[in-house]
Structure 1
């Protein structure tokens, strides 16, 4: 199980997820945290009456959350106090909060449990689809955000940090262009403004260092919309309209419209000419 060092952004992300969990399940108590060195560190709580859960460290296999972490599946203690299916290492914190029913949902990223979200009540309450389904959706959304951040960090590590790298070979330049297209796709679903800002800076950096003319700034007063650039970046990789639509979660007709609009702005008669002009203008790498 890979450990992840928590950052302020991660803490804020978990806090938003915990707030969503409380709101969407209507359970009065929600809390959770990410995995660090084989344990869950609770960094966010909502609706608690005491501070007993804040900062709680739940080790793998221990308690309800520890089991959810290692088994990678939700775990339920309908009557936490009398449950025989878990260890009771954390009774002081959980029962100290007065929780009767506790539901733990692992946060999965590429098959790895990266955190656990909990929701609980002060009286025994069955957990049916009306509660479980939105809880799963919140955990899935958090897992998706973490996956996106992982990919951003991976791409950041791969991109040269110099302003311009002269004489890039064809394979390296193509790899940079693939990274650019993927980052455009990631940026379209990122909600964290700090991460989105880093992505935008990285996109400009890639466009500059891979430009064969030395990374000049956009010219001709051409202003393409973000989606037009998304579509052109994938056209540059040889993708068909259908493939672009699938990759960007758009309708094929919408992709065609964006492409035609970009071609008009670039005064290009073909998709390939549009890509070439966008590269000369410094819009694409």
Structure 2
């Protein structure tokens, strides 16, 4: 039986994590969720035999998951019913499903728990490092994705349209654009990359003078994502070595991308390439 209550991109991220948790730990049941109004609401469940886990909402310090969230480390028991190390607030859910072995792994972002993942079995099983290591890996991947999403959301809030933009604000906008390009270069999630690209387009729109029609890039000038990444960093005055470090590239590769961008933009220097890219609406 599968039971899920996905309502958006974050819930989809948890659902993917729950599926990966089951695959990597080989536990038959997996479930999890993120904080919502002071407790973790379970939004994804797979492998369950009953619907007993539906509606489970876990508060910090309560139950196995609550303890894991407070201690910021995995907690486990191979005999949930008799465990004296946890409170039994959620017995109706866990024992209702018949789970005996249970592992809880917190999802930690910025030093605090943002959610919890569970893996369980109906029979008694020994849980050790072989199981907890891959489970922690899944939680860490979700944490990394949440950090990127938080950063994107923060920049969207900070860069709301304003009636006018002075030189300092324009420079901040350009720095934000360059940083988003750097973040996007490290993201493997296609949906998240699409979301970041939407924010980038919004930043380009903010760079247009108020009341001016949007500038459409010439059809004959098309920069690849990597060429744009490199040029955005160069626009902030970064050296080839600094760009390479930011984007995880070799310095020679950076030079090649920059040379290609300059050629496409018919520019003899990186500064001329940046200026032309801005006129074409490719950079803010």
Q: How high is the TM-score relative to the length of structure 2?
A: 0.90
Separation (CA, whole Å) in 1 of partners of 2:22 and 2:278: 48
Q: Hey, what does 1:124 align to over in structure 2?
A: 124
CA drift of 1:104 comes to: 0.5
CA drift of 1:66 comes to: 0.5
Q: Hey, what does 1:136 align to over in structure 2?
A: 136
- How many pairs are equivalent? 276
Q: Hey, what does 2:3 align to over in structure 1?
A: none
CA drift of 1:113 comes to: 0.6
Runs (4+) of structure 1 exceeding 4 A deviation are 211-215
Q: Does 1:34 align with 2:31?
A: no
Q: Hey, what does 1:250 align to over in structure 2?
A: 249
Unaligned runs of 5+ in 1: 1-5
Separation (CA, whole Å) in 1 of partners of 2:109 and 2:242: 25
Q: Hey, what does 2:90 align to over in structure 1?
A: 90
DSSP-derived class of the 2:246 partner: helix
Q: Deviations over 1:190-221 (max 9, x none)?
A: 5252x444432321232233246945221262
CA drift of 1:272 comes to: 1.7
Q: Hey, what does 2:184 align to over in structure 1?
A: 187
Q: Hey, what does 1:3 align to over in structure 2?
A: none
CA drift of 1:67 comes to: 0.6
Using a 3 Å threshold, how does the CA distance of structure 1 residues 51 and 67 change in structure 2: closer, same or farther? Answer: same
Q: Hey, what does 2:205 align to over in structure 1?
A: 208
DSSP-derived class of the 1:150 partner: helix
Contact 1:30 1:119 in 2 (8 A): yes
**Which stretch of structure 1 is more off in the superposition, 241-250 or 175-184?**
241-250
Q: Deviations over 1:66-103 (max 9, x none)?
A: 11111211111122121111011111211221211111
Report matched runs for 1:162-241 at 5 Å.
168-188=165-185, 189=187, 191=189, 193=191, 195-211=192-208, 214=212, 215-219=214-218, 221-241=220-240
Unaligned runs of 5+ in 2: 1-5
Using a 3 Å threshold, how does the CA distance of structure 1 residues 102 and 66 change in structure 2: closer, same or farther? Answer: same
Separation (CA, whole Å) in 2 of partners of 1:132 and 1:60: 21
Contact 1:145 1:190 in 2 (8 A): no
Report matched runs for 1:1-40 at 5 Å.
8-40=8-40
Separation (CA, whole Å) in 2 of partners of 1:257 and 1:126: 53
**Which stretch of structure 1 is more off in the superposition, 214-223 or 13-22?**
214-223
Contact 2:74 2:132 in 1 (8 A): no
RMSD: 2.0
